Amino acid sequence: MVTHIRMSPYVPDVIPDSDRRYFETGDGAPRAGWGDTPAVLVVDLTEAFVEERPEVGRPCVEETERLLEVARETETPIFYTTPSERGTYPRAYPKPTKTPEEQEASPERKEWLEKLDKIPDTIAPQETDQVFSRPRASAFFDTHLANQLHYYGIDTLIVAGMTTSGCVRATVVDGHSSNFRMIVPQTCVADRSIISHEVSLFDLDMKYADVTPREEVQSRLRERATDSA
C-alpha cells in the first residue's frame, strides 16, 4: 500500500523570505510517500569525499551508520555506488566535464583520487550488498542499478551519501524519473558547501523526494518489518 500524506516542507533558514511567502501560499509540499518495498542506496560516501570536509563528512558517515544498522536489522536491501576508475572507461568514453586529466593532477589531487572508491570501515558493504561503479553523477546513468532494483521489486529508495548538490541530487532526480519513491534522510547526506546542501535539500523536497529525519526513516523500516512478520 502506498501512503500519501501532506506535511510541512523542508525549509532551511537560508531560504529568503520572498520564497517562503510564495511557498506558504500552498498547503505544503505533497509527500511522495512510501511504497511496499524499500531499499537503501549509499551514494559515494567514500573517504575522498568525507575527508575533503570532515566537519560535515564524518557526521554524515555516523548518521548513515545508524541508518544502515536498522536496514540490516530489518533485512532491507542495501546498495552502494562509487565513482568509476578512469582506466575502466571504454576507450572512446569522454572524461567528465570540469574534471582534470589525472596526469595533470597535483600530488594532493592524486592522493584524493586514491581514496575515491574507499568506503569507510564503519559503513563498508557486506557480502550481501551490491556496489555499483558509476561513470557520471547519477547512480542510474550507464549502470545496471535500475535493473537490479526492479528485479528485487524495489519501489522506494532511501538515499544517503555525498554530495547533496552533486551525485545525491542527480541520483534522486533520475530515481524520481524512473518512478521510484525517493526518501532522503537529511542528516545522512552532506556537501562541501553548506548553502548548496540546504538549498538542494529544499529543492529536492519540493519536487522529487521526501526529505525526512533519519529517526523517522528508521521507524518506518521497523514498522514495515513488524507488519510483514
Cell of 165: 548538490
Over 50: is that where the pLDDT of 44 sits? yes
Q: Is the peptide bond before 171 cis (omega within 30 degrees of 0)?
A: no
**Rounded Cα gap, residues 103 and 160, in angstroms:** 32
The answer as to whether 110 is a domain residue is yes
CA 168 to chain centre: 4
How far apart CA 133 and CA 106 sit, in angstroms, is 24
Q: Does the pLDDT of residue 135 top 50, yes or no?
A: yes
Domain that holds residue 81: 35-88+97-228
For residue 73, tell me if it sits in a domain: yes
Share of the chain above pLDDT 70, in %: 81
Q: How many domains does the chain have?
A: 1
Cell representation of residue 203:
529543492
Residues with a catalytic annotation lie at 167
CATH classification at residue 120: 3.40.50.850
For 93, which DSSP code? P
pLDDT at 4 over 60: no
* Residue 137 falls inside a structural domain: yes
DSSP 153: T
**79 inside domain:** yes
Any domain includes 152: yes
Residue 22 lies in a domain: no
Q: What is the pLDDT of residues 159-213, one digit of tens each?
A: 999 999 999 999 999 999 999 999 999 999 999 999 999 999 999 998 999 999 9
Contact 125, 119 (CB under 8 A): yes
Inside any domain, residue 201:
yes
pLDDT at 218: 97
